[in-house]
A and B are shown apart, each in its own frame.
Chain A
């Protein structure tokens, strides 16, 4: 009887704990906080997008990279939270950012609570198929329910987060720092989750569920909880995205985004959380550049990138970057 394992054989996977300790965080922190004001204006929008999608990608990484549940409908939670936010802002006149955020997170989590049991009944590729179908379902609901969602026109407005703090004047740079706070929050929270006993059990679950069950773990409950957490953070990204763009459209729920975020996680390498951040950055940048230089052919470039990554970068970028870091640090120390 063959044991079903995760997407890479157990022996070649390892957790890349950077032994250089605090240093990478300091460097990354500096890059993220000090660099932006020095960059030209229009880069700010790109950076904001990178942070938002990093949150989105990390939330999927938890579900897919750590627990091994390949969800190809993750944009459903991202998009739904965005829609709830837009509806509250535009139709219910609710202004407070916190209220909007909480309501949207609740909505996304509830959706996952409903979809979860449906999807978790099946395994692996069928899980992928079902999550895909559910995601598409939500897409079409958004598309046809014109009275609520504005149909394919979507809901449009100019949203600035009302934090209840007087005297806040929003600019792209300020919004960037605002999003950065959420990004950092997500990163550390998710990292903490993966290091809890609960989180460590995720890896075990991915590698050998049967064994985990024999050891007394309620694997279904674990998967369900992870699914909810992932959906919640995806929702968080979704809300930020709607504030950023000023509109909620069916595309936010659709296959394009679900596929793109999955790509980000895979590109980054599903062994680490920060890998997804790298994945997000690379892909958004790639999309930006290829659309710039090849206005009509950029999907070709994009698609080719998907294919090349899948073929040649199994395990993603994170291992390379980690090795590079170790090498650099090693050289510097000598």
Chain B
């Protein structure tokens, strides 16, 4: 009898596993035209961008609250999945939400290499996709159902080129960024524009992604020739970088600017870094201090719910994308036909918390870019908008 038990246990375990996958909710339901509209969200809750996923989700959910969860009599349902910041996992999840949950519109993914991996599949299935955060022009062009509300990397960062040259008066820069596609793109947008205007890049440093220690690069900064240092890191590196910048005495010697204030100086890491980072500028498509009615409402509601200011991930990646989706659905009166939704989105001229947003024919966002400086009030640190470049075009 005992022998029977010893294999019945693992065997039943296996059977239960199999069964649970089968009968899980939502299995095989066909969605009637008048049934709920399911919006799929491929977000990162594990993996390299695990920090951003919950923020994007919060933004999406807030938008849903503000719009009411119904369009043309159809209920809006969110199907949220973890893409693991991994192409393989994301593709599996994409398959699941499209084939099993009958999702016709997707918000996400966040990471570009993950987005690249799921786009061929989503395009093949004619699923409308709202990329969360930036994506380059050539890639967006390849996928006719992909929309990038946040523009391209260079669109945002090139504005810092303008600001650094024209407003701050810098002429020579030493750069430091992470050695991977996004890192190079962010910095590239800035340096291209800076050089276009007449500036000079006297030094370029690229550190390995996941670097734990910037000391070598900081020690090597060419302080004699450069007017300023332009640096960027991914979220996990920001506090480290800032502290080491101060430790190595660079704080006193040479000003620091960022080609993109998000990532290196995320608002939620600012309290940890402290006052040494005050005044450092960088561009962003969104900051909680943007002065318009909708943003005030979003910031107030978000703060009430989550206790912190909304981030650019949450708003640009989540809230605004959801806004676009809701407005498009309103325009098509709840019809999820991909052609109609696409048309509707392209016609939109939207007031968002980040300012006015519309799409270029190439489906990339035309939006305001704000130059922000790190500021504080009491113990509250935030990005203070100091200049706005309106209606920037994709580049």
Contacts and interface: CB of A to CB of B under 8 A. Distances in A.
Contacts of A249: 86-88, 113, 117
A320 B6 contact: yes
Given A245-B117, A249-B113, A289-B20, A151 B181 contact: yes
A251 interface: yes
Contacts of B99: 40-42
A288 interface: yes
Contacts of B330: none
B46 A298 contact: yes
Interface stretch (B10-18, B255-263, B276-284, B371-379): B10-18
Interface string A238-262: 0000000111010100000000000
A194 interface: no
A158 interface: yes
Interface in A261-311: 282, 285-286, 288-289, 291-293, 295-296, 298-299
A265 B123 CA distance: 37
A321 interface: yes
A320 B11 contact: yes
Contacts of A246: 91, 117, 120-121
A323 to B, nearest CB: 5
Contacts of A321: 7, 11
Interface residues on chain A, size class: 35 or more
Given A153-B181, A327-B4, A289 B21 contact: yes
A45 B21 CA distance: 14
A288 B92 CA distance: 9
Interface string A40-55: 1110011001000000
A320 B10 contact: yes
Nearest to B20: A289
Interface in B223-278: none
A278 to B, nearest CB: 9
Given A286-B17, A313-B10, A152 B209 contact: yes
A156 B117 contact: yes
Contacts of B180: 146, 151-153
A11 B86 CA distance: 44
* Binding site secondary structure of chain A: helix
B113 A291 contact: no
Interface string A142-182: 01101000111110111000000000000000000000000
A324 interface: yes
A52 to B, nearest CB: 11
Contacts of B7: 320-321, 323-324
A40 B24 CA distance: 13
Contacts of B92: 45-46, 49, 288
Residue among B4, B81, B82, B113 having the largest count of chain A Cβ atoms under 10 Å: B113
A317 interface: yes
A295 B80 contact: yes
A229 to B, nearest CB: 26
B181 A251 contact: no
Contacts of B86: 249, 251
B69 interface: no
Nearest to B93: A291
B208 interface: yes
Contacts of B100: 40, 42
B28 A288 contact: no
B55 interface: no
B187 to A, nearest CB: 14
B113 A152 contact: yes
Nearest to A172: B95
Given A40-B28, A298-B46, A154 B87 contact: yes
A53 to B, nearest CB: 11
B120 A152 contact: no
B233 to A, nearest CB: 15
Nearest to A290: B17
A275 to B, nearest CB: 13
Contacts of A40: 27-28, 99-100
Contacts of A323: 3, 7
Nearest to A41: B99
Interface in A11-51: 40-42, 45-46, 49
A292 B112 CA distance: 23
Given A151-B180, A246-B120, A296 B45 contact: yes
B64 to A, nearest CB: 18
B116 interface: yes
B254 to A, nearest CB: 28
Interface string A304-334: 0000000001000100110110010000000
B204 to A, nearest CB: 15
Interface string B108-151: 00001100110011000000000000000000000000000000
A119 to B, nearest CB: 25
Contact of A291 (B28, B82, B87, B116): B82
A46 to B, nearest CB: 8
11 contacts: A45-B92, A156-B120, A246-B121, A249-B117, A288-B92, A289-B17, A289-B21, A291-B81, A292-B24, A313-B10, A320-B6
Interface of A: 40-42, 45-46, 49, 143-144, 146, 150-154, 156-158, 245-247, 249, 251, 282, 285-286, 288-289, 291-293, 295-296, 298-299, 313, 317, 320-321, 323-324, 327
Which 6 pairs between the two chains have the least Cβ-Cβ distance? A42-B99, A153-B113, A320-B7, A295-B82, A296-B45, A158-B120
Given A46-B92, A296-B82, 5 more contacts: A40-B100, A41-B99, A151-B181, A156-B113, A291-B81
